[in-house]
Amino acid sequence: MPVPWQQLLQGASARWQDNELTAFTEPVAEARQALASDIIAPLPSLAIVEVSGADATEFLHSQLSNDIRALPEHGSCLAAYCNPKGRMLALFRVVRRADSLLLLFPAGLVESTLKRLRLYVLRSKVTFTDLGDQWAAMGISGPNVAARLATLGLSLPEQVDEGTSHEDALVLRLPGATPRGLIVAPQQRIGRLWSALDGLERVGEQAWRLLKIRAGVPEVLPGAVEKFIPQAANLDLLNGISFSKGCYPGQEIVARLHYRGNVNRRMYRLTLESAALPAPGTDVRTVDGSLAGELVMAAPGPDGGTEALAVLQVRQAGERLLVDGHAATAEAPPYLPEPQAE
């Protein structure tokens, strides 16, 4: 009889912090593996919420920043859930299944996010189901992962945001310098795939987060709720906002900024000398003490320091920066021009 997924992880000599499997070995070593090898990362801190019912698509379309109606079967997209002031309460990867949609986002936000969404269901035929005890997700990355998946009958799509399905497993293509994807499936299937892919280097969620940082793809973690508007987190550059759809909470603010054509806060990648991981929402300051921005997320880097994403004032991104008193240097994510010092 197969070992249950959670039991399989608990017996893997992994390091845990709350509900996150941070690492299997040394975080710095895993960071190096993630950047240079074919890796696989279990993601127990990623919530999987099913949205079903006759009105599921229309309801999410009316609440989120992206065009959910246009999402093809097995495809995925980033979509922000904002408050009326346009600040993000949550950031989902939305996945279309044959008869429902999935919301993928940090498990620490499930209770508060679903409570708020349910307030607006009213008479709509929509049901939210937390699949955390039934489904699971794993991240894969590396030059040879597509070939490895093919030996198991799975296909990693060529294009970012596309997805494929084989029986009950979804494979989603994600942004990255090397092929990167997400496998989402019932836990029993995930457990079998985990065992079958034992030739890949096994890394924890911190190393997986480093790959997201390198790709410039944010998460809204509990410490950063209601801090950033979607454009400040570069969602307009990551196909996470539709400017042609109808209203949703915060849409007026998001649209006004877009049509004004001047985004003065953008998300940059930071390299910190310190190995101490700063929390989401931590201030980023210039050396003279001026507030330059706030941290989005951080992970151990391959050289013993820390890499992070932070939303910064564009005019200050090229200056000498400090995070918790430690020196930090800003670089552009792959889709932005490099910051310039004034």
Question: In the predicted model, is pLDDT for residue 337 greater than 90?
Answer: no
- The mean per-residue pLDDT over the stretch 229-236 comes to 98
At 257, give phi and psi (nearest 5°).
Answer: -65, -40
In which band, very low, low, confident or very high, does the pLDDT at 8 lie, cut at 50, 70 and 90? confident
Q: What is the predicted pLDDT for the residue at 283?
A: 98
Please state the rounded mean pLDDT for residues 278-300: 97
Q: What is the CA radius of gyration of the chain?
A: 19
How many structural domains is the chain composed of? 2
pLDDT at residue 6, as a whole number: 77
pTM of the model as a whole: 0.96
The residue from 168, 195, 218 where one domain ends is 218
Q: How far is the C-alpha of 321 from the C-alpha of 284, rounded, in Å?
A: 7
Tell whether 173 is covered by a domain: yes
Average pLDDT over residues 130-144: 97
Tally of CB atoms within 10 A around 311: 24
Q: Is the residue at 340 inside a domain?
A: no
pLDDT level of residue 341 (50, 70, 90 thresholds): low
Q: Is the pLDDT of residue 192 over 90?
A: yes
Could you tell me if 122 and 156 lie in one domain?
Answer: yes
Q: Are residues 96 and 55 in the same domain?
A: yes
Question: Tokens 């279309």 identify what position?
Answer: 96
Task: Give the total residue count for the chain.
Answer: 342
State the pLDDT at residue 2. Answer: 55
Query: How far apart, in Å, do the first and last CA atoms of the chain sit?
Result: 63
Banded model confidence at residue 81, pLDDT cuts 50, 70, 90: very high
**Which domain, by its residues, includes 253?**
222-331
Shared domain for 260 and 306, answered yes or no, is: yes
**Is 201 a member of any domain?**
yes
Any domain includes 337: no
pLDDT band at 1 (very low <50, low <70, confident <90, very high): very low
- Nearest residue to 105 (alpha-carbon basis) of 225, 233, 232: 225
159, 187, 218 — which closes off a domain? 218
- CATH code, 301: 2.40.30.160
Instruction: Work out the average pLDDT over 89-100.
Output: 98
Q: What are the pLDDT digits (tens) for 239-268? A: 999 999 989 999 999 999 998 888 999 999
The predicted structure's pLDDT at residue 7: 78
Residue found under tokens 């050396």: 287
Q: Are residues 62 and 150 in the same domain?
A: yes
Q: What is the mean pLDDT of residues 24-44?
A: 97
Cα separation, 143 vs 177, whole angstroms: 10
Note whether 77 and 71 are within 8 A (CB): yes
Could you give the C-alpha distances from 316 to 260, 277, 286, 303, 325, in angstroms and in order?
21, 22, 8, 26, 17
Task: Specify the CATH number for the domain of residue 167.
Answer: 3.30.1360.120
Residues with Cβ within 8 Å of residue 10, at least 6 apart in sequence: none
Measured distance CA(170)–CA(174) in Å, rounded: 13
HSE of 109, CA atoms in CB hemisphere, 13 A: 24
* 128 contacts: CB under 8 Å, gap ≥ 6: 49, 50, 51, 114, 117, 118
Quote the Cα angle for 23-274-201, to 5°: 25
Tell me the mean pLDDT in the region 16-35.
95
Query: Is 342 contained in some domain?
Result: no
pLDDT bucket at 18, cuts 50 / 70 / 90: confident
Domain boundary among 218, 248, 268: 218
Q: Are 97 and 164 in contact (CB under 8 A)?
A: no
Domain assignment present for residue 125? The answer is yes
| 339 falls within a domain | no
* Strands of 70-121, DSSP E: 76-82, 88-96, 101-106
**Contact (CB, 8 A) for 271 and 285:** no
Shared domain check, 323 and 179: no
Give percent above pLDDT 90 in the chain: 91
Which stretch of 18-22, 91-95, 155-159, 217-221 has the lowest confidence by average pLDDT?
A: 18-22
Report how far residue 68's alpha carbon sits from residue 58's, in angstroms, rounded to the nearest whole number: 8
Concatenate the DSSP letters of all residues of 151-192 into one string: TTT----SSTT-EEEETTEEEEEE--SS-EEEEEEEHHHHHH
What are all long-range contacts of 166-169, with beta carbons under 8 Å and residues at least 24 apart?
169/193
| Three-state SS at 298 | strand
Pair (202, 136) in one structural domain: yes
pLDDT at 4 over 90: no
Out of 17-21, 151-155, 185-189, which region has the weakest mean confidence (pLDDT)?
17-21
**Mean pLDDT value across the chain:** 95
**Are residues 192 and 76 part of one domain?**
yes
Q: Which residue type sits at 269? A: R
The vertex-37 CA angle with 34 and 38, nearest 5°, equals 95
42/328 Cα distance (integer angstroms)? 30
Average pLDDT over residues 60-84: 98
Residues 73 and 109 in one domain: yes
Q: Mean pLDDT across the stretch 114-124?
A: 95
Q: What percent of the chain has pLDDT over 70?
A: 98
Does 258 lie in the same domain as 207? no
Instruction: Say whether both 15 and 99 belong to one domain.
Output: yes
290 vs 287: CA distance, rounded Å? 7
83, 139: one domain: yes
Note whether 193 and 298 are same-domain residues.
no
